[in-house]
Amino acid sequence: MRIHILTLFPDMFQGPFHNSIVKRAVDSALVEIHLHDIRQYTHDRHHTADDYQFGGDSGMVMKPEPIFEGVESILSDLTQLEMARTRVILTSPQGRLLDQSTVEELARQLHLIVICGHYEGVDERVLEHLITDEVSIGDYVLTGGELAAMVLTDAVVRLLPGAVGSEASVRGDSITTGLLQHPIYTRPAQFQEWGVPEVLLSGNHQEIKRWRRERSLERTFHQRPDLLARAKLTSQDIEFLGKLGFKGKENSRG
Ligand code: ADE
């Protein structure tokens, strides 16, 4: 996969992409990450990438020309087949909320071109004629789209085959399974006055599996009841949730 990031602040990306799993994925050629300074596609003396808003209002708007030029220069190197598996993404608080199923969909592409939004936003013609996906990472406003682009890249890269040590750990992700993760423990078995749940030391795999499932259900019910509406639940799960006060799938939305 190749990920292109168009940004006004390429230096912000030093760090997040040079450590841990993303660095390893780049080093082992699972992914190429290319940073493009949007100002390199401007042609005036001051490298102007933003301008005042038509109609009057406070706040600057990102100009369309440098963004079009940058994206089109990347697209011009692609074949028709590659184009069909390329997404042009704008990070903005107005976008669709990023979730694991969107990340999975993006991880199946060949190329991602991510434009980091700034100021009040970008000229609407960019959204109308260039962007395939507008993505937000949450209902809060960041100083710019760079952090959102890093979050998106990180989440996509860890899904690329070979990026994370164990495929099973990716498949069993909390959220991917539709439920939050059960509590986990490591050594020492006794830390200060706190022990580890007996069942985890019992060696009884059936019991451990049941304990984990119930803790997952419990945690999801208390912390993210909205997830239960979409989770795959067995009749045993529903019976267990019923004891916690779960009223059934129809009543758990929102
Ligand atoms: N830019 C500013 N806030 C953002 C958000 N929540 N998600 C994506 N891009 C943003």
CA 24 to centroid of chain Cα atoms: 18
Mutate to test the pocket of ligand 1, among 12, 142, 143, 146 (most ligand atoms within 8 A of CB): 142
Q: List the domain range (segments joined by +) for residue 227.
A: 190-251
pLDDT in tens, the chain (254 residues): 999 999 999 999 999 999 999 999 999 999 999 999 999 999 999 999 999 999 999 999 999 999 999 999 999 999 999 999 999 999 999 999 999 999 999 999 999 999 999 988 999 999 999 999 999 999 999 999 999 999 999 999 999 999 998 776 676 676 777 999 999 999 999 999 999 999 999 999 999 999 999 999 999 999 999 999 999 999 999 999 999 999 987 644 44
Asked whether 217 and 237 are in contact (CB, 8 A), the reply is yes
- Residue carrying the six token digits 């069942």: 199
Q: Are residues 6 and 101 in the same domain?
A: yes
| Ligand 1 atom 2 nearest Cα | 142
Please tell me the distance between residue 162's alpha carbon and the centre of ligand 1 in angstroms.
Answer: 29
Q: Are residues 136 and 195 in the same domain?
A: no
Number of domains, the chain: 2
Q: Are residues 55 and 110 in the same domain?
A: yes
- Tell which residue, 178, 195, 70, 68, has the closest CA to residue 125: 68
Q: Are residues 131 and 199 in the same domain?
A: no
Alpha-carbon distance of 25 to 155, in angstroms, equals: 12
